[in-house]
Structure 1
Amino acid sequence: MGGGDRATLTPAGNFVENCRIHDFNRVEKSYRPGIWIDGVGNRVSKCDIYNAPSMAILFHGNNHTIEFCKITNVCSEVDDQGAIYYGRDPSELGNVIRYCYFHKLSPRHRVTATYHDDGACGGEVYGNIYHNAGSLPVLIGGGHYNHYHHNIFIDSPVAIHLDNRMQNWGTGMVAPDGIIDQRLKTVKYKEAPYSTTYPFLAHYWEEDPSYPHGNVIEGNLFYRIKNIVNGQTQWGEFRNNWSTNNDPGFIDPENPLKGFKEDAPIYKYIQGFPQLPFDQIGCSLEEQ
């Protein structure tokens, strides 16, 4: 699904909504997602995506929204994959992933629920539930200004991976005339509309792109998580999070989609934690 104009950031408004997509990738196992998004200003909403060896959603472009999706048992056969994946272009900004449920992603190999690969920047990710969501539910691979807030992490060995790959094996990507330099020049990142819509982008090279900065992880619940961070905590700003092995107040701890009790401890221990729209997550079509 494409549409919109990246040069002018004109949105298309195309959408995939209330669909069930499953048992795909049977011939080509990798990089053939259930939904592939490109362009500007497109949306995926209320879709159930399940039973696939590789990605559920792959996207490129700007200002897309992925919301209210239930993603289960994907990336089951392919290493180093994300249920939702993008990367290697810091001009792909303004993308939002919210109110999705990631469940039963294999921890046997490197599987991620939301994967910001190779310097991906500026993603806003909030209100999601990561429940047994792979070996690395979140992977931020050397990028900047990604914002994770009011998400729920349950029963994983690690919650969030952060790294500084551009300072070691990824230095070629931020070298002059490297892949990132080329992609920024393609969209004329120092000129409007990019310089005005995403102000930090015009200063990308001035802020040392090899060092991960501006990533904020705040107001999240880590429930029965062994290690919150894989990597160095200085590569992110962590605040107002709560890690606990005690029930944070679920109506049904085995089914977090039923939500929290009115007097749940989470509202006490995470200041400003919102009422999440659990009842809107997933496809509403009748089962066949």
Structure 2
Amino acid sequence: MLGASDITVKGIVFENARGSAAALYGTGNCIFSGCIFRNLGSFAISIEDATGFSQQPQQAFSSNNGIVDCIIYETGRGGIVLSGGDRNTLTPARNYVHNCTIHDFNRIAKTYSAGIKISGVGNQIIHNEIFNAPHVAILLSGNDHLIEYNEIHHVCMETDDAGAIYYGRNPSERGHLVQYNFIHHLPERYRTTAIYHDDAACGMKVHGNVFYKAGAFPVLIGGGSDNPYTNNIFIDCPVGIKVDNRLQAFDWAKPMIAPGGIIEQRLNEIKFDRPPYCTNYPELAKYWEEDPSFPKRNRVDRNLFVNVGQTVLKVDDGVNADKQFLDFTTNNLITREDPGFIDKNRMNFKLTETSAVFEKIRGFEAVPFEKMGTYAIGNK
């Protein structure tokens, strides 16, 4: 589709193609609903802007398009490419993937071909299940995305130094909210993580998620700032949060913030110190003034750690070893005991109303565990 609007494609099986099944460019209010995508050579479907075409359609930007209640499996190079929105103006596209099941999507390309590759501005990944992959589930870039109520498991199964949700190396790509997701059963034998803030990644709020057996460390903050963690539950993990100051301490990372380096290049691409960036993200305008090599404003508050071997692993290679890279408050609870889950053995991590957690952690809110993942509706 090129420049189309108000079209619904429903209940069709797309299969046995050497490439992708469908592509939407510069479309508005177009929906694929209740479809199956399988046995494809590339990814299943994409939603993208049409700015690269020689003859521009009437609507160059894709907005308000959706992929809903679909099943995707046995693809060669990922599941869904979800883009749209204007990074120069931070205008959101509000394209979305909702209530889809995506699995076994790396038959040909084993890495960086995600279940959902999300970019642009203001797009949404809600109520999906993503599983069975050698590498990442969600590969993220852009600004102001919403990732919520998803279940992600058995990904990063064959790769080292990987995250189920991964982004990095561009501090201007911020404003994301990751909340109420259930991420579980990632392998411990590799350096795997549930949420990977790689190479100075900044500006992601992480709230109300459940991390169960989620890799070597469910969270890795690789030198970045402004990544608050609130109201999350960590269960049965060797390490809870790993954090480092790589831009200060690691020789291979220091060139990223050197004059003319990749960070400066990417910040200058979007005029980070001018509106709308300086108004939407005031801390970004001071990026160079505040010593970008030191991680800051990574607040960890109102979280529950259950049977976690080491709550925080701080790696500094002797540089600023006496300083903290996390604002880890006293209002977190660390315990070896079952805090009152409804049924831990059956992976029901909803807390009972009488759980002592609500008294021991001031302001802790009930995590809506029962709403995470897909739900039955329509043709699905």
Is TM (by shorter chain) over 0.5?
A: yes
Deviation at 1:256, TM superposition (A): 4.5
Counterpart in the other structure of 1:274: 365
Counterpart in the other structure of 1:214: 297
Counterpart in the other structure of 1:235: 325
Counterpart in the other structure of 2:283: 200
After TM superposition, the score normalised by the length of structure 2 is 0.74
Over the residues paired in the alignment, what is the CA RMSD in angstroms? 1.3
Instruction: Give the counterpart of 2:351 among 251, 260, 264.
Output: 260
Structure 2: runs of 5+ lacking an equivalent: 1-81, 316-322
After TM superposition, the score normalised by the length of structure 1 is 0.97
Counterpart in the other structure of 1:178: 261
Instruction: Give the counterpart of 1:246 among 337, 342, 345.
Output: 337
Deviation at 1:236, TM superposition (A): 0.6
Aligned ranges 1:5-24 → 2 under 5 Å: 5-24=86-105
Secondary structure, aligned partner of 1:235? coil
Distance 2:369 2:286 in 1: 38
Compared with structure 1, are the counterparts of its residues 272 and 255 closer, same or farther at alpha carbon in structure 2 (3 Å cutoff)? farther
Cα deviation, 1:113-165, whole Å, max 9, x if unaligned, reads 00000000011001000000000110000001110000000001001010000
Within the alignment, does 1:129 sit opposite 2:210 as a pair? yes
Counterpart in the other structure of 1:75: 156
Deviation at 1:279, TM superposition (A): 1.7
Question: Structure 1 segments of 4 or more deviating over 6 A?
Answer: none
Counterpart in the other structure of 2:180: 99
Distance 1:142 1:8 in 2: 27
Counterpart in the other structure of 1:112: 193
Distance 1:108 1:59 in 2: 24
What letter corresponds to residue 97 of structure 1 in structure 2? Answer: V
Distance 1:181 1:196 in 2: 19
Distance 1:188 1:147 in 2: 25
Distance 1:55 1:97 in 2: 16
Counterpart in the other structure of 2:272: 189
Cα deviation, 1:151-210, whole Å, max 9, x if unaligned, reads 000001001010000012211001011000011111101100000000011100010001
Distance 1:261 1:112 in 2: 28
Give 1 or 2 for the bigger CA radius of gyration: 2
What letter corresponds to residue 326 of structure 2 in structure 1? Answer: G
Deviation at 1:258, TM superposition (A): 4.8
Deviation at 1:253, TM superposition (A): 1.9
Counterpart in the other structure of 1:46: 127
Deviation at 1:39, TM superposition (A): 0.3
Structure 1: runs of 5+ lacking an equivalent: none
Q: More helix per residue: 1 or 2?
A: 1
Secondary structure, aligned partner of 2:362? coil
Aligned length: 288
Counterpart in the other structure of 2:111: 30
What letter corresponds to residue 103 of structure 1 in structure 2? Answer: H
Percentage identity across paired residues of the two chains: 50
Question: Which structure is higher in RCO with an 8 Å CA cutoff and minimum separation 6?
Answer: 1
What letter corresponds to residue 194 of structure 2 in structure 1? Answer: A
